[in-house]
Amino acid sequence: MPSRASRPTAASPDALGVGGPRSEGTRRTILDAARALFAARGYEQTTIRAVAGQAGIDASMVMRYFGSKAGLFAAAATRDLDPPDIAGVPARGRGEALVRHFVNRWEVDPSEDMLVFLLRTAVTDGSVAEQLQTTFDRIVVGPLTALDYPDAERRAALIGSQLMGLALCRYILQLQPLASLSGDEIVAGLAPAIQRYLTQPMTGA
Amino acid sequence: MPSRASRPTAASPDALGVGGPRSEGTRRTILDAARALFAARGYEQTTIRAVAGQAGIDASMVMRYFGSKAGLFAAAATRDLDPPDIAGVPARGRGEALVRHFVNRWEVDPSEDMLVFLLRTAVTDGSVAEQLQTTFDRIVVGPLTALDYPDAERRAALIGSQLMGLALCRYILQLQPLASLSGDEIVAGLAPAIQRYLTQPMTGA
DNA sequence: AACGAAAGTCAACATGCGTTGGCAAACGGG
DNA sequence: CCCGTTTGCCAACGCATGTTGACTTTCGTT
């Protein structure tokens, strides 16, 4: 990706704090570069200079826009992500729908997905782990409780551990043969297990 | 843990390379400290000085013993770990036996387990990921192929992703409610899924 | 055309890191 | 008792990093 100079067009005088409204164009450019690098290398390995380099600007610009490396990460880590719509799926197909939802998103570009992005950094940073918990609650636990599944939290936890394990092994660690299977093969292999987590009776408490 | 000065006892003139036989006592002390810190913070966040500090010695000592930070990690990352004995278990109970094997080990002290140790560092270091692959092949894929399971590699991959996900969510990220469940509850929840991965028919290839 | 603020660059600082070499104490055989 | 090896500590180097401040360039407004 060549260094897109891009004329930032001075931006519109939108609703932004008086603290310092900057060019919205380069702001997004920086955030995209930051997300890509944070997701690819993790927090420590990602340097401000590298982010600035990929964004085609100077490192001090990143500081002016986001204050600090932590501020940059915080800004990069807040993004909308849509929970899967499993309510519109018959109960027997919800396991597969759940797996397919995430696999489809991850197949496009794992680095672009918030869950993979957070996962990578959460491993080395405890505060990010809390954020991952929140995100996960909203995106997996939420839909399950909305459908009145009993023990929704525990079922979501089991399902989550499997989905996280998949994301970890396939997209981050790239372990074989998991990394070279097709998306459909992954879905076919995982869906029955997820379905089972949804429906199997719970023992103990 | 107070700084154990400990007289290294000059050690026995054991079989050690001519390059530099050092005190075996402090060598192990350093390795223990290194393993604990690597497992707790990951590779980047662990500093030579911190390892030396926890071992109660100087940082340069670590260098003399292990040459470099990478050498220290390599030394810390080589340790025996026993594959689970599922051959002596009836086929119907192998899923549970597999889960229980790892959960039992992790309940004692996750930081002491090689798999958790490697997992944490593999996320930020690609070369460690390869080592994790090797370890995993030996400890999970091996026992399965030895029992002539069809599609042993793929089944092991699915099982592995679930076990890795558990280790990640419960012991590293400490996500709720997974982190606060009892070991038995974990085993009860996961065992049927693992058993299913062992026995369910494989679709596609 | 001139002004001034915004946008961006450049050089430098302070810090913490891995790493190195030199120097002091402990130990053991002659 | 002395001396060489081993074991350890101290101070420092070189480097990359996050961060800062002064300087230049762009560009809309008057």
For residue range B138-164, list pLDDT tens digits in order.
888 888 888 888 888 899 999 999 999
Task: Tell me which H or E stretch contains B81.
Answer: none
Q: How much is the pLDDT for B9? A: 27
Of residues A160, A161, A188, nearest to B204 (C-beta)? A188
Nearest of B91, B185, B73, B175 to residue B132 by alpha carbon:
B73
Residue A203 confidence class, pLDDT cut points 50, 70, 90: low
Q: Does the pLDDT at position A195 exceed 90?
A: yes
Distance from CA of A28 to the nearest CA of B (A): 26
If one compares A201 and B194, the residue with the highest pLDDT of the two is B194
Query: What gap in Å lies between CA B47 and CA B114, rounded to an integer?
Result: 20
End-to-end CA distance of chain A: give it in Å, rounded: 54
Whether nucleic acid strand C comes within 7 Å of the CB of A63, the answer is no
Query: In angstroms, what separates the C-alpha of A67 from chain B's closest C-alpha?
Result: 22
> Between residues 120 and 159 of chain B, which touch chain A (CB distance below 8 Å)?
120, 122-124, 129, 132-133, 136, 153-154, 157-158
Dist. CA A175–CA A195, nearest whole Å: 24
Q: Which nucleotide is nearest to A3 (CA to C1')?
A: C8
A61 touches strand C (CB under 7 A): yes
Q: Comparing B116 with A157, which gets the higher pLDDT?
A: A157
Closest partner residue to B177 (CB to CB) among A123, A153, A204 is A153
The verdict on a CB contact (< 8 Å) between A161 and B178 is yes
Per residue in A14-63, pLDDT (tens digit) is: 333 333 445 788 899 999 999 989 888 888 889 999 999 999 999 999 99
Identify the pLDDT of residue A22.
Answer: 58
CA–CA dist B148, B85 (Å, integer)? 15
Confidence check: pLDDT of B1 > 70: no
pLDDT of residue B203: 67
* Protein CA at B20 to nucleotide C1' at D6, angstroms: 10
pLDDT at A19: 36
The residues of the protein lying within 7 Å (CB) of strand D read A 7, 10, 46-50, 59-60, 63, 67-70; B 8, 10-11, 20-23, 26, 56-61, 64
The residue ranking higher by pLDDT, A205 or A171, is A171
- Please state, as a whole number, how many other Cβ atoms lie within 10 Å of the Cβ of residue A146: 12
CB A121 within 8 A of CB A38: yes
**Band (B128; pLDDT cuts 50, 70, 90):** confident
In chain B, % helix, strand, coil (3-state, to 5) comes to 65, 0, 35
- Mean of the per-residue pLDDT values for chain A? 83
pLDDT for res B15: 29
Q: Residue A121: is its pLDDT beyond 70?
A: yes
Helix axes A69-76, A59-66, angle to 10 degrees: 70
B204 — pLDDT class (breaks 50, 70, 90): low
Under the banding of pLDDT at 50, 70 and 90, the label for residue B182 is very high
The C-alpha angle B185, B175, A118, rounded to 5 degrees, equals 145
| 25-64 of A, contacting B, C-beta below 8 A | 41-42, 44-45
A165, B170: Cβ pair inside 8 Å? no
**pLDDT value at A143 more than 90:** no
Residue with more model confidence, A128 or A61: A61
pTM above 0.75, yes or no: yes
A158 chain-B contacts, CB cut-off 8 A: 178, 189-190, 193
Q: List chain A residues with CB under 8 Å of B176.
A: 133, 157
pLDDT digit string (tens) for B9-50?
222 333 233 334 567 788 999 999 999 898 888 888 899 999
Interchain contact A117–B (C-beta under 8 A): no
Residues of A in contact with B127 (CB under 8 A): none
Please answer yes or no on whether B123 and A175 come within 8 Å at the CB atom: no
Q: Which residues of A touch B185 (CB under 8 A)?
A: 204-205
Measured CA B61 to C1' D15 distance, in angstroms: 21
Nearest to A162 among B157, B162, B181 (CB): B162
Region of poorest pLDDT, from A108-117, B17-26, B156-165, B184-193: B17-26
pLDDT in tens, B55-114: 999 999 999 999 999 999 999 988 767 788 888 889 899 999 999 999 998 998 877 778
